[in-house]
Amino acid sequence: MSILNKIRITALGAVGCLFLIQCAPTAKINPNFEKMKPKVVVVLPPENTTSNTEVEETAYPILFEKVSNRGYYCISPEMVRAIFNSNRLEDAGRINQLPLKKFKEIFGADAVLRTKITDWSSKYIIISSTVTITLESELMDTKTGEELWSMKNTVSKSPNNSGGGVVGGLVGAVMNAAFTPYEPIMEENANTTLTTIPQGDYGKAK
């Protein structure tokens, strides 16, 4: 086999691997979703397992908006937070672990959206940088405790990395990542993820 053919095969293999890596994840939808379809949903504060402190402030309003746009009546984040804070439940991890029936009792909710953010980071490889956000989301029925829908999704973006040699490139990568806003990346991830939830009864998806 010629060297040229070997290079072509290697290139095709690399493209195939890239395709597999970039394949979009698939949402899991309960086959009885239409029969159990919720109308009132509580979007819980996202559980942050990363070291970044701005996660909930950035992510929570976006999650709420996306679920509302799917046609569900969602309890406002301000009300949800106020009720939990008054009961000394400020940690999102603890809130997400509460019995589902509690959300039915307190809010009259048919379902609860629980989200865990496992990656909210900037990574540096030689002289390039990548900003990554990973969401693990699940919609749970408050009456039966069944999972109605779930999905895990990761979005990574590489800011424009400049040259200038190794040192200049590394400094540029760090600066680009530092000034890359996470909100648009979170918006893209939430949009990709939450638009896979079947349409609710209130209005049309936006």
Q: Is 62 contained in some domain?
A: yes
Question: Of 15-24, 66-75, 103-112, where does mean pLDDT reach its minimum?
Answer: 15-24
Residue 144, domain extent:
25-120+132-154+182-194
At residue 129, the pLDDT reads: 72
pLDDT of 76 strictly over 80: yes
Residue with tokens 């496992």: 118
User: What would the mean pLDDT of 73-101 be, rounded to a whole number?
Assistant: 95
Residue 136's Cα: distance from chain center in Å?
6
At residue 157, the pLDDT reads: 87
Phi, psi of 25 (to 5 degrees): -65, 160
Of 132, 131, 134, 139, the closest CA to residue 118 belongs to 134
Domain of 74, CATH number, reads 3.40.50.10610
Q: Is 206 contained in some domain?
A: no
- Specify the number of domains making up the chain: 1
- Whole-number average pLDDT of the chain: 82
Q: Is 168 contained in some domain?
A: no
Q: Is 2 contained in some domain?
A: no
Q: Is 1 contained in some domain?
A: no
Of 25, 192, 9, 194, the closest CA to residue 115 belongs to 194
Of 105, 100, 116, 57, the closest CA to residue 83 belongs to 105
List pLDDT tens digits, range 157-202. Answer: 886 544 444 334 444 444 444 446 889 999 999 999 999 999 999 9
pLDDT of 7 strictly over 70: no
Q: Is 173 contained in some domain?
A: no
List pLDDT tens digits, range 100-150. Answer: 999 999 999 999 999 999 999 887 655 467 889 999 999 999 999 999 999
Q: Would you call 31 exposed, middle or buried from its count of C-beta atoms within 10 A (0-12, 13-18, 19+)?
A: exposed
Q: Is 126 contained in some domain?
A: no
At residue 24, the pLDDT reads: 63
pTM of the entire structure? 0.79
Q: Is 78 contained in some domain?
A: yes
